[in-house]
Structure 1
Protein backbone atom coordinates (compact mmCIF):
# COMPACT_ATOMS: atom_id res chain seq x y z
CA UNK A 1 0.00 0.00 0.00
CA UNK A 2 1.31 3.47 -0.86
CA UNK A 3 0.34 6.86 0.49
CA UNK A 4 -0.02 9.79 -1.87
CA UNK A 5 1.28 12.89 -0.01
CA UNK A 6 -0.78 15.27 -2.20
CA UNK A 7 -4.06 13.57 -1.30
CA UNK A 8 -5.98 15.06 1.66
CA UNK A 9 -6.30 12.68 4.62
CA UNK A 10 -9.35 10.47 4.45
CA UNK A 11 -10.24 11.66 7.98
CA UNK A 12 -8.61 14.24 10.22
CA UNK A 13 -8.91 15.94 13.60
CA UNK A 14 -7.41 19.41 13.99
CA UNK A 15 -6.82 20.88 17.47
CA UNK A 16 -9.73 18.87 18.86
CA UNK A 17 -10.82 19.17 22.48
CA UNK A 18 -13.65 17.16 24.01
CA UNK A 19 -15.31 17.73 27.36
CA UNK A 20 -18.24 15.76 28.77
CA UNK A 21 -20.60 16.92 31.50
CA UNK A 22 -20.89 14.40 34.32
CA UNK A 23 -24.11 13.47 36.11
CA UNK A 24 -23.00 15.71 38.98
CA UNK A 25 -22.73 18.69 36.67
CA UNK A 26 -18.95 18.73 36.51
CA UNK A 27 -16.93 19.17 33.32
CA UNK A 28 -14.72 16.19 32.47
CA UNK A 29 -12.03 16.97 29.90
CA UNK A 30 -11.36 13.82 27.85
CA UNK A 31 -9.31 15.11 24.90
CA UNK A 32 -6.85 18.00 24.69
CA UNK A 33 -5.39 19.51 21.49
CA UNK A 34 -5.67 16.38 19.35
CA UNK A 35 -4.20 16.51 15.85
CA UNK A 36 -4.43 13.17 14.06
CA UNK A 37 -4.96 12.23 10.42
CA UNK A 38 -5.72 8.94 8.70
CA UNK A 39 -4.10 8.94 5.28
CA UNK A 40 -5.13 7.03 2.19
CA UNK A 41 -3.58 3.58 2.11
CA UNK A 42 -2.41 3.34 5.71
CA UNK A 43 -3.30 1.22 8.71
CA UNK A 44 -3.10 3.58 11.66
CA UNK A 45 -3.19 2.28 15.24
CA UNK A 46 -4.11 4.55 18.14
CA UNK A 47 -2.65 2.97 21.24
CA UNK A 48 -3.29 3.88 24.84
CA UNK A 49 -4.41 2.78 28.26
CA UNK A 50 -8.06 2.29 29.14
CA UNK A 51 -9.74 5.63 29.74
CA UNK A 52 -7.28 7.64 27.65
CA UNK A 53 -9.90 8.78 25.13
CA UNK A 54 -9.15 6.43 22.22
CA UNK A 55 -12.76 5.59 21.47
CA UNK A 56 -13.74 9.25 21.77
CA UNK A 57 -11.23 10.09 19.03
CA UNK A 58 -12.69 7.34 16.83
CA UNK A 59 -16.20 8.66 17.37
CA UNK A 60 -15.12 12.21 16.52
CA UNK A 61 -13.32 11.04 13.36
CA UNK A 62 -16.39 9.18 12.14
CA UNK A 63 -18.85 11.93 13.06
CA UNK A 64 -20.67 9.88 15.70
CA UNK A 65 -20.04 12.68 18.20
CA UNK A 66 -18.92 16.29 17.81
CA UNK A 67 -15.84 17.76 19.49
CA UNK A 68 -16.22 20.56 22.02
CA UNK A 69 -13.80 22.60 19.93
CA UNK A 70 -11.53 22.04 16.94
CA UNK A 71 -12.23 20.79 13.43
CA UNK A 72 -13.11 17.41 11.93
CA UNK A 73 -12.29 17.00 8.24
CA UNK A 74 -13.13 14.33 5.68
CA UNK A 75 -11.00 14.45 2.53
CA UNK A 76 -10.01 17.99 3.44
CA UNK A 77 -13.58 19.25 3.87
CA UNK A 78 -15.40 20.04 7.14
CA UNK A 79 -17.39 17.03 8.30
CA UNK A 80 -21.06 17.63 9.04
CA UNK A 81 -22.80 14.59 10.46
CA UNK A 82 -21.60 11.03 10.02
CA UNK A 83 -18.61 10.30 7.77
CA UNK A 84 -20.17 8.23 4.99
CA UNK A 85 -16.71 7.07 3.88
CA UNK A 86 -16.27 5.21 7.19
CA UNK A 87 -17.68 2.12 8.91
CA UNK A 88 -17.06 0.97 12.48
CA UNK A 89 -16.58 -2.44 14.09
CA UNK A 90 -17.16 -2.22 17.84
CA UNK A 91 -15.72 -4.21 20.74
CA UNK A 92 -19.11 -5.63 21.66
CA UNK A 93 -20.61 -7.59 18.81
CA UNK A 94 -23.61 -5.21 18.62
CA UNK A 95 -25.82 -7.58 16.63
CA UNK A 96 -29.62 -7.62 16.65
CA UNK A 97 -30.49 -10.98 18.24
CA UNK A 98 -33.82 -11.26 16.40
CA UNK A 99 -32.18 -10.85 12.96
CA UNK A 100 -30.33 -13.49 10.95
CA UNK A 101 -26.73 -13.09 9.83
CA UNK A 102 -27.85 -11.79 6.43
CA UNK A 103 -30.32 -9.38 7.99
CA UNK A 104 -27.71 -8.07 10.44
CA UNK A 105 -25.25 -7.48 7.60
CA UNK A 106 -27.96 -5.71 5.58
CA UNK A 107 -28.24 -3.15 8.40
CA UNK A 108 -24.97 -1.73 7.05
CA UNK A 109 -26.85 -0.68 3.91
CA UNK A 110 -29.77 1.07 5.60
CA UNK A 111 -28.44 4.50 4.63
CA UNK A 112 -28.19 3.42 0.97
CA UNK A 113 -31.27 3.28 -1.22
CA UNK A 114 -30.54 0.18 -3.29
CA UNK A 115 -32.81 -2.12 -5.27
CA UNK A 116 -33.46 -5.31 -3.33
CA UNK A 117 -31.51 -7.50 -5.77
CA UNK A 118 -28.47 -5.22 -5.56
CA UNK A 119 -28.70 -5.08 -1.77
CA UNK A 120 -28.97 -8.87 -1.47
CA UNK A 121 -25.97 -9.33 -3.78
CA UNK A 122 -23.88 -6.93 -1.69
CA UNK A 123 -24.85 -8.77 1.50
CA UNK A 124 -23.95 -12.13 -0.04
CA UNK A 125 -20.53 -10.81 -1.13
CA UNK A 126 -19.73 -9.45 2.31
CA UNK A 127 -20.77 -12.68 4.03
CA UNK A 128 -18.68 -14.79 1.66
CA UNK A 129 -15.73 -12.42 1.97
CA UNK A 130 -15.57 -12.82 5.73
CA UNK A 131 -15.97 -16.61 5.65
CA UNK A 132 -19.58 -17.09 6.77
CA UNK A 133 -20.99 -18.46 3.53
CA UNK A 134 -23.01 -21.22 5.20
CA UNK A 135 -24.55 -19.03 7.89
CA UNK A 136 -26.84 -16.60 6.06
CA UNK A 137 -29.92 -17.73 7.99
CA UNK A 138 -28.32 -18.36 11.39
CA UNK A 139 -29.16 -16.20 14.40
CA UNK A 140 -26.48 -14.61 16.64
CA UNK A 141 -27.27 -17.01 19.52
CA UNK A 142 -26.21 -19.87 17.26
CA UNK A 143 -22.77 -18.39 16.60
CA UNK A 144 -19.50 -18.35 18.53
CA UNK A 145 -17.98 -15.04 19.63
CA UNK A 146 -15.55 -15.06 16.73
CA UNK A 147 -18.33 -15.72 14.23
CA UNK A 148 -20.43 -12.91 15.70
CA UNK A 149 -17.55 -10.51 15.24
CA UNK A 150 -17.20 -11.69 11.65
CA UNK A 151 -20.82 -10.66 11.16
CA UNK A 152 -19.94 -7.24 12.57
CA UNK A 153 -17.02 -6.95 10.16
CA UNK A 154 -19.18 -8.04 7.21
CA UNK A 155 -21.78 -5.43 8.19
CA UNK A 156 -19.04 -2.77 8.25
CA UNK A 157 -17.65 -3.83 4.86
CA UNK A 158 -20.96 -4.32 3.00
CA UNK A 159 -21.21 -0.63 2.09
CA UNK A 160 -17.64 -0.70 0.69
CA UNK A 161 -16.26 2.05 2.96
CA UNK A 162 -12.97 3.76 2.19
CA UNK A 163 -12.15 3.77 5.92
CA UNK A 164 -12.71 0.87 8.32
CA UNK A 165 -12.53 1.78 12.02
CA UNK A 166 -11.90 -0.88 14.64
CA UNK A 167 -12.85 0.02 18.22
CA UNK A 168 -11.03 -2.61 20.31
CA UNK A 169 -12.55 -5.08 17.86
CA UNK A 170 -10.50 -8.10 18.98
CA UNK A 171 -10.40 -7.63 22.75
CA UNK A 172 -13.45 -9.81 23.53
CA UNK A 173 -12.12 -12.76 21.51
CA UNK A 174 -9.90 -15.66 22.48
CA UNK A 175 -6.25 -15.43 21.43
CA UNK A 176 -6.39 -17.71 18.38
CA UNK A 177 -9.64 -16.29 17.03
CA UNK A 178 -8.34 -12.74 17.42
CA UNK A 179 -5.10 -13.63 15.63
CA UNK A 180 -6.97 -15.21 12.72
CA UNK A 181 -9.23 -12.18 12.32
CA UNK A 182 -6.30 -9.77 12.46
CA UNK A 183 -4.54 -11.63 9.68
CA UNK A 184 -7.69 -11.81 7.56
CA UNK A 185 -8.29 -8.07 7.89
CA UNK A 186 -4.69 -7.30 6.96
CA UNK A 187 -5.16 -9.47 3.88
CA UNK A 188 -8.43 -7.74 2.92
CA UNK A 189 -6.85 -4.31 3.34
CA UNK A 190 -3.66 -5.12 1.43
CA UNK A 191 -5.61 -6.81 -1.37
CA UNK A 192 -8.57 -4.43 -1.59
CA UNK A 193 -8.57 -4.32 -5.39
CA UNK A 194 -8.56 -8.10 -5.73
CA UNK A 195 -11.20 -8.64 -3.04
CA UNK A 196 -13.40 -5.78 -4.25
CA UNK A 197 -13.88 -4.24 -0.81
CA UNK A 198 -13.09 -0.68 -1.90
CA UNK A 199 -11.15 -0.37 1.36
CA UNK A 200 -8.30 2.16 1.45
CA UNK A 201 -7.42 2.67 5.11
CA UNK A 202 -7.94 1.17 8.54
CA UNK A 203 -8.00 3.12 11.81
CA UNK A 204 -7.84 0.95 14.88
CA UNK A 205 -7.87 1.77 18.58
CA UNK A 206 -6.32 -0.71 20.96
CA UNK A 207 -4.59 -1.05 24.31
CA UNK A 208 -2.64 -4.08 23.04
CA UNK A 209 0.90 -3.09 22.03
CA UNK A 210 1.66 -6.36 20.21
CA UNK A 211 -1.57 -6.04 18.23
CA UNK A 212 -0.66 -2.53 17.10
CA UNK A 213 2.85 -3.55 16.06
CA UNK A 214 1.53 -6.62 14.23
CA UNK A 215 -1.02 -4.70 12.18
CA UNK A 216 -0.20 -1.02 11.78
CA UNK A 217 1.92 0.93 9.32
CA UNK A 218 1.89 3.86 11.75
CA UNK A 219 1.32 3.99 15.49
CA UNK A 220 0.15 6.91 17.64
CA UNK A 221 0.42 6.66 21.42
CA UNK A 222 -2.21 8.53 23.44
CA UNK A 223 -1.37 9.77 26.92
CA UNK A 224 -4.27 9.75 29.43
CA UNK A 225 -6.37 12.14 31.51
CA UNK A 226 -6.95 14.14 29.45
CA UNK A 227 -6.09 12.31 26.26
CA UNK A 228 -3.22 13.97 24.41
CA UNK A 229 -0.84 12.82 21.72
CA UNK A 230 2.48 11.29 22.67
CA UNK A 231 4.78 9.13 20.58
CA UNK A 232 4.08 8.94 16.83
CA UNK A 233 6.12 6.47 14.81
CA UNK A 234 6.14 4.66 11.50
CA UNK A 235 6.25 0.87 11.56
CA UNK A 236 8.69 -0.28 8.85
CA UNK A 237 8.39 -4.02 9.53
CA UNK A 238 7.40 -5.99 6.41
CA UNK A 239 4.30 -8.18 6.29
CA UNK A 240 3.77 -10.84 7.46
CA UNK A 241 5.24 -9.79 10.79
CA UNK A 242 6.87 -12.19 13.18
CA UNK A 243 6.08 -11.34 16.83
CA UNK A 244 9.06 -13.32 18.09
CA UNK A 245 11.58 -11.46 15.93
CA UNK A 246 14.11 -9.11 17.51
CA UNK A 247 12.90 -6.12 15.46
CA UNK A 248 9.28 -6.70 16.49
CA UNK A 249 10.17 -6.98 20.18
CA UNK A 250 12.34 -3.85 20.05
CA UNK A 251 9.40 -1.86 18.78
CA UNK A 252 7.13 -3.34 21.45
CA UNK A 253 9.65 -2.43 24.16
CA UNK A 254 10.01 1.13 22.87
CA UNK A 255 6.26 1.71 22.94
CA UNK A 256 5.85 -0.01 26.32
CA UNK A 257 8.50 2.24 27.85
CA UNK A 258 6.81 5.31 26.38
CA UNK A 259 3.43 4.37 27.83
CA UNK A 260 4.60 3.25 31.27
CA UNK A 261 6.89 6.22 31.94
CA UNK A 262 4.21 8.82 31.23
Structure 2
Protein backbone atom coordinates (compact mmCIF):
# COMPACT_ATOMS: atom_id res chain seq x y z
CA UNK A 1 0.00 0.00 0.00
CA UNK A 2 1.28 3.49 -0.75
CA UNK A 3 1.19 6.60 1.39
CA UNK A 4 -0.78 9.34 -0.25
CA UNK A 5 -1.64 12.89 0.58
CA UNK A 6 -2.27 16.43 -0.53
CA UNK A 7 0.28 19.23 -0.70
CA UNK A 8 0.35 22.91 -1.42
CA UNK A 9 3.37 24.98 -2.27
CA UNK A 10 4.20 27.41 0.54
CA UNK A 11 7.33 29.46 -0.06
CA UNK A 12 10.39 27.22 -0.08
CA UNK A 13 8.61 24.35 1.59
CA UNK A 14 5.83 22.08 0.50
CA UNK A 15 3.09 21.79 3.08
CA UNK A 16 2.37 18.09 3.39
CA UNK A 17 -1.01 16.83 4.50
CA UNK A 18 -0.75 13.08 4.59
CA UNK A 19 -3.35 10.57 3.60
CA UNK A 20 -6.20 12.86 2.68
CA UNK A 21 -8.94 10.27 2.01
CA UNK A 22 -9.43 9.68 -1.69
CA UNK A 23 -6.41 11.73 -2.77
CA UNK A 24 -4.02 9.93 -5.07
CA UNK A 25 -0.95 12.16 -4.89
CA UNK A 26 2.08 10.22 -3.70
CA UNK A 27 4.00 12.23 -1.10
CA UNK A 28 7.73 12.39 -0.40
CA UNK A 29 9.15 10.66 2.67
CA UNK A 30 8.89 12.33 6.06
CA UNK A 31 11.22 12.59 8.99
CA UNK A 32 10.38 13.20 12.87
CA UNK A 33 8.11 16.73 16.08
CA UNK A 34 7.31 20.44 16.63
CA UNK A 35 4.79 20.15 19.50
CA UNK A 36 1.15 19.49 20.15
CA UNK A 37 -0.68 22.61 18.97
CA UNK A 38 1.63 23.50 16.09
CA UNK A 39 1.37 19.93 14.82
CA UNK A 40 -2.38 19.69 15.10
CA UNK A 41 -4.04 23.08 14.67
CA UNK A 42 -4.76 22.53 10.95
CA UNK A 43 -6.45 19.18 11.52
CA UNK A 44 -9.13 19.69 14.14
CA UNK A 45 -11.72 18.60 11.58
CA UNK A 46 -10.05 15.14 11.44
CA UNK A 47 -9.95 13.98 15.07
CA UNK A 48 -8.09 10.69 14.59
CA UNK A 49 -5.55 12.38 12.33
CA UNK A 50 -5.26 15.07 15.02
CA UNK A 51 -4.59 12.41 17.65
CA UNK A 52 -1.95 10.91 15.38
CA UNK A 53 -0.06 14.20 15.33
CA UNK A 54 0.24 13.93 19.12
CA UNK A 55 1.19 10.24 19.32
CA UNK A 56 5.01 10.58 19.21
CA UNK A 57 4.90 13.06 22.10
CA UNK A 58 2.43 10.96 24.05
CA UNK A 59 4.69 7.94 23.70
CA UNK A 60 7.62 9.93 25.08
CA UNK A 61 5.61 10.16 28.30
CA UNK A 62 3.89 6.76 28.34
CA UNK A 63 6.78 4.56 27.20
CA UNK A 64 9.98 6.09 25.87
CA UNK A 65 11.06 2.73 24.46
CA UNK A 66 8.30 2.90 21.88
CA UNK A 67 9.06 4.72 18.65
CA UNK A 68 7.06 5.61 15.58
CA UNK A 69 9.25 4.80 12.58
CA UNK A 70 8.36 5.93 9.10
CA UNK A 71 8.90 2.52 7.50
CA UNK A 72 6.45 0.92 9.94
CA UNK A 73 3.84 3.68 9.92
CA UNK A 74 3.71 4.52 6.20
CA UNK A 75 2.11 1.23 5.06
CA UNK A 76 -0.77 1.78 7.48
CA UNK A 77 -1.51 5.26 6.11
CA UNK A 78 -3.22 3.80 3.06
CA UNK A 79 -5.88 6.50 2.40
CA UNK A 80 -8.65 4.05 3.31
CA UNK A 81 -10.12 6.38 5.92
CA UNK A 82 -9.99 3.64 8.56
CA UNK A 83 -9.17 4.67 12.15
CA UNK A 84 -5.70 3.13 11.90
CA UNK A 85 -5.03 4.88 8.57
CA UNK A 86 -6.04 8.25 9.98
CA UNK A 87 -3.89 7.83 13.09
CA UNK A 88 -0.95 6.71 10.97
CA UNK A 89 -1.36 9.68 8.63
CA UNK A 90 -1.29 12.04 11.59
CA UNK A 91 1.88 10.41 12.87
CA UNK A 92 3.51 10.87 9.47
CA UNK A 93 2.47 14.52 9.49
CA UNK A 94 4.20 14.92 12.86
CA UNK A 95 7.35 13.30 11.53
CA UNK A 96 7.39 15.53 8.49
CA UNK A 97 6.82 18.64 10.58
CA UNK A 98 9.78 17.76 12.76
CA UNK A 99 12.04 17.01 9.86
CA UNK A 100 11.47 20.51 8.51
CA UNK A 101 11.30 22.37 11.82
CA UNK A 102 14.50 21.11 13.37
CA UNK A 103 16.48 21.89 10.22
CA UNK A 104 15.10 25.32 9.40
CA UNK A 105 17.30 28.36 9.85
CA UNK A 106 14.91 30.14 12.22
CA UNK A 107 14.88 27.22 14.65
CA UNK A 108 18.66 26.80 14.58
CA UNK A 109 19.17 30.51 15.24
CA UNK A 110 16.53 30.88 17.95
CA UNK A 111 17.37 27.69 19.82
CA UNK A 112 21.07 28.56 19.62
CA UNK A 113 20.49 32.06 20.99
CA UNK A 114 18.41 30.66 23.85
CA UNK A 115 21.03 28.01 24.61
CA UNK A 116 23.66 30.72 25.09
CA UNK A 117 21.27 32.78 27.23
CA UNK A 118 20.48 29.79 29.44
CA UNK A 119 24.18 29.01 29.76
CA UNK A 120 24.87 32.56 30.92
CA UNK A 121 22.24 32.35 33.68
CA UNK A 122 22.80 28.81 34.97
CA UNK A 123 25.62 27.19 36.93
CA UNK A 124 28.17 25.49 34.72
CA UNK A 125 27.32 21.94 35.78
CA UNK A 126 26.01 18.86 34.04
CA UNK A 127 22.69 19.34 35.88
CA UNK A 128 21.61 21.58 33.02
CA UNK A 129 21.99 21.11 29.29
CA UNK A 130 21.62 24.53 27.65
CA UNK A 131 21.40 23.08 24.15
CA UNK A 132 18.49 20.87 25.15
CA UNK A 133 16.87 23.80 26.95
CA UNK A 134 17.15 26.02 23.89
CA UNK A 135 15.56 23.32 21.75
CA UNK A 136 12.64 22.52 24.06
CA UNK A 137 11.92 26.13 24.96
CA UNK A 138 11.78 27.15 21.30
CA UNK A 139 9.10 24.51 20.70
CA UNK A 140 7.00 25.49 23.70
CA UNK A 141 7.25 29.18 22.85
CA UNK A 142 6.04 28.50 19.32
CA UNK A 143 2.94 26.82 20.68
CA UNK A 144 2.49 29.69 23.15
CA UNK A 145 2.56 32.31 20.40
CA UNK A 146 0.14 30.33 18.23
CA UNK A 147 -2.27 29.82 21.13
CA UNK A 148 -2.23 33.47 22.17
CA UNK A 149 -3.00 34.49 18.60
CA UNK A 150 -5.88 32.04 18.28
CA UNK A 151 -7.23 30.89 21.67
CA UNK A 152 -10.53 29.84 20.13
CA UNK A 153 -8.78 27.27 17.99
CA UNK A 154 -7.18 25.79 21.11
CA UNK A 155 -10.68 25.23 22.48
CA UNK A 156 -11.65 23.50 19.25
CA UNK A 157 -8.46 21.46 19.40
CA UNK A 158 -9.37 20.12 22.83
CA UNK A 159 -13.00 19.54 21.86
CA UNK A 160 -11.90 17.50 18.86
CA UNK A 161 -9.38 15.55 20.91
CA UNK A 162 -11.96 14.80 23.60
CA UNK A 163 -14.15 13.14 20.97
CA UNK A 164 -11.45 10.73 19.85
CA UNK A 165 -11.83 7.00 20.44
CA UNK A 166 -8.70 6.54 22.56
CA UNK A 167 -8.92 2.75 22.35
CA UNK A 168 -8.80 2.96 18.55
CA UNK A 169 -5.73 5.19 18.80
CA UNK A 170 -4.02 2.80 21.19
CA UNK A 171 -4.80 -0.20 19.01
CA UNK A 172 -3.44 1.56 15.93
CA UNK A 173 -0.26 2.62 17.73
CA UNK A 174 0.38 -0.84 19.14
CA UNK A 175 0.09 -2.24 15.64
CA UNK A 176 2.82 -0.05 14.15
CA UNK A 177 5.16 1.09 16.94
CA UNK A 178 8.67 -0.18 17.38
CA UNK A 179 9.74 -1.21 20.88
CA UNK A 180 6.70 -2.99 22.26
CA UNK A 181 3.09 -2.16 23.03
CA UNK A 182 1.33 -0.11 25.68
CA UNK A 183 -1.91 -0.17 27.62
CA UNK A 184 -1.29 3.34 28.94
CA UNK A 185 -2.18 5.41 25.91
CA UNK A 186 -5.92 5.47 26.64
CA UNK A 187 -5.29 7.04 30.03
CA UNK A 188 -2.75 9.41 28.50
CA UNK A 189 -5.33 10.73 26.04
CA UNK A 190 -7.83 11.19 28.87
CA UNK A 191 -5.36 13.06 31.07
CA UNK A 192 -4.20 15.20 28.16
CA UNK A 193 -7.76 16.36 27.53
CA UNK A 194 -8.53 16.90 31.21
CA UNK A 195 -5.41 18.85 32.16
CA UNK A 196 -5.43 21.17 29.13
CA UNK A 197 -1.92 22.36 29.92
CA UNK A 198 -1.20 23.84 26.49
CA UNK A 199 -2.77 27.12 27.57
CA UNK A 200 0.01 27.49 30.13
CA UNK A 201 2.51 28.10 27.33
CA UNK A 202 1.15 31.63 26.88
CA UNK A 203 2.46 32.87 30.26
CA UNK A 204 6.23 32.83 30.99
CA UNK A 205 5.88 31.68 34.61
CA UNK A 206 3.44 28.91 33.77
CA UNK A 207 5.58 27.90 30.81
CA UNK A 208 8.56 27.62 33.16
CA UNK A 209 6.50 25.33 35.40
CA UNK A 210 5.70 23.08 32.43
CA UNK A 211 9.30 23.25 31.23
CA UNK A 212 10.44 22.00 34.63
CA UNK A 213 8.07 19.05 34.30
CA UNK A 214 9.91 18.15 31.11
CA UNK A 215 13.26 18.62 32.86
CA UNK A 216 12.28 16.17 35.58
CA UNK A 217 11.08 13.65 33.03
CA UNK A 218 14.44 13.71 31.25
CA UNK A 219 16.27 13.66 34.60
CA UNK A 220 17.72 17.16 34.54
CA UNK A 221 17.65 19.75 37.31
CA UNK A 222 14.71 22.12 37.69
CA UNK A 223 15.24 25.65 36.46
CA UNK A 224 15.20 28.68 38.77
CA UNK A 225 13.08 31.79 38.24
CA UNK A 226 16.24 33.55 37.08
CA UNK A 227 15.69 32.08 33.61
CA UNK A 228 12.34 33.85 33.13
CA UNK A 229 14.01 36.70 31.18
CA UNK A 230 15.38 34.07 28.79
CA UNK A 231 11.87 32.75 28.18
CA UNK A 232 10.56 36.28 27.66
CA UNK A 233 13.37 37.03 25.23
CA UNK A 234 12.69 33.78 23.42
CA UNK A 235 9.10 34.80 22.83
CA UNK A 236 10.30 38.04 21.24
CA UNK A 237 12.48 36.00 18.91
CA UNK A 238 9.75 33.52 17.97
CA UNK A 239 6.86 35.93 17.34
CA UNK A 240 8.12 37.49 14.09
CA UNK A 241 9.31 34.16 12.67
CA UNK A 242 6.31 31.89 13.21
CA UNK A 243 5.64 31.19 9.53
CA UNK A 244 9.33 30.60 8.92
CA UNK A 245 9.47 28.14 11.82
CA UNK A 246 6.40 26.26 10.61
CA UNK A 247 7.05 26.36 6.88
CA UNK A 248 3.45 27.46 6.36
CA UNK A 249 1.30 30.42 7.38
CA UNK A 250 -1.11 29.76 10.28
CA UNK A 251 -4.79 30.31 9.51
CA UNK A 252 -6.34 33.55 10.64
CA UNK A 253 -8.19 33.28 13.97
CA UNK A 254 -11.57 33.81 12.28
CA UNK A 255 -10.97 31.14 9.67
CA UNK A 256 -12.39 27.81 10.83
CA UNK A 257 -12.58 25.01 8.31
CA UNK A 258 -12.68 27.47 5.44
CA UNK A 259 -15.54 29.62 6.66
CA UNK A 260 -15.57 33.01 8.33
CA UNK A 261 -16.98 33.22 11.84
CA UNK A 262 -19.26 36.18 12.42
CA UNK A 263 -18.35 38.62 15.15
CA UNK A 264 -20.93 39.18 17.96
CA UNK A 265 -21.76 42.55 16.36
CA UNK A 266 -22.36 40.95 12.96
CA UNK A 267 -24.58 38.26 14.49
CA UNK A 268 -26.63 40.95 16.27
CA UNK A 269 -27.04 42.93 13.07
CA UNK A 270 -28.22 39.87 11.14
CA UNK A 271 -30.91 38.98 13.66
Tell me the TM-score normalised to structure 2 length. Answer: 0.28
Which structure shows the bigger proportion of residues in helix conformation?
2
**TM-score (structure 1 length as normaliser):** 0.29
